[in-house]
Amino acid sequence: MPVPSGGLTFSSDDKTATVQVSNAPIIDQPRWPAMDAESTPAFLDFKLVFKATDEPVEYENAAQQYRFEGFKASAQLEATIRVPSIDFTFKTDPMEASMCDFAVMGDEVNGKYYEAAKGPL
């Protein structure tokens, strides 16, 4: 899903990133994965906020050509899903009630860029 212009913002200290999308077209498919599952147009609004801590993290797997350097973070999400054809709306709990078990913010390299990016990212 493309993020619209202005849909990704960073705080002045780059420690908070916010992704916000409105009216993203999705489908409602309650009988999925049934082969004959009917799909109905639906829409998604969401706001996702990542906040970096001061605790650094580094993950590297040379065999899979993957490296990440950054910071542990928190992530919070609130969303609304609308299925107009059946007049249905679902809204998550508010952002303040959202919690995550794992989030990180930083830089990663993989695949053909892995070798080229040796050293600090």
| Helix, strand, coil in percent for the chain, rounding step 5 | 10, 55, 30
Q: Measured between alpha carbons, how far is 91 from 20 in angstroms, rounded to an integer?
A: 15
Rg (CA), the chain: 18
What 3-state DSSP class applies to 38? coil
What 3-state DSSP class applies to 118? coil
Rounded to two decimals, what is the model's pTM? Answer: 0.81
Q: How confident is the model at residue 103 (pLDDT cuts 50, 70, 90)?
A: very high
Q: Is the pLDDT of residue 96 over 70?
A: yes
Please state the domain extents for the chain. Answer: 8-31+39-54+71-104
| Per-residue pLDDT tens over the stretch 51-69 | 999 999 999 998 999 999 9
Q: What is the DSSP track for 81-118?
A: EEEGGGTEEEEPPPGGG---S--EEEEEEEGGGTGGG-
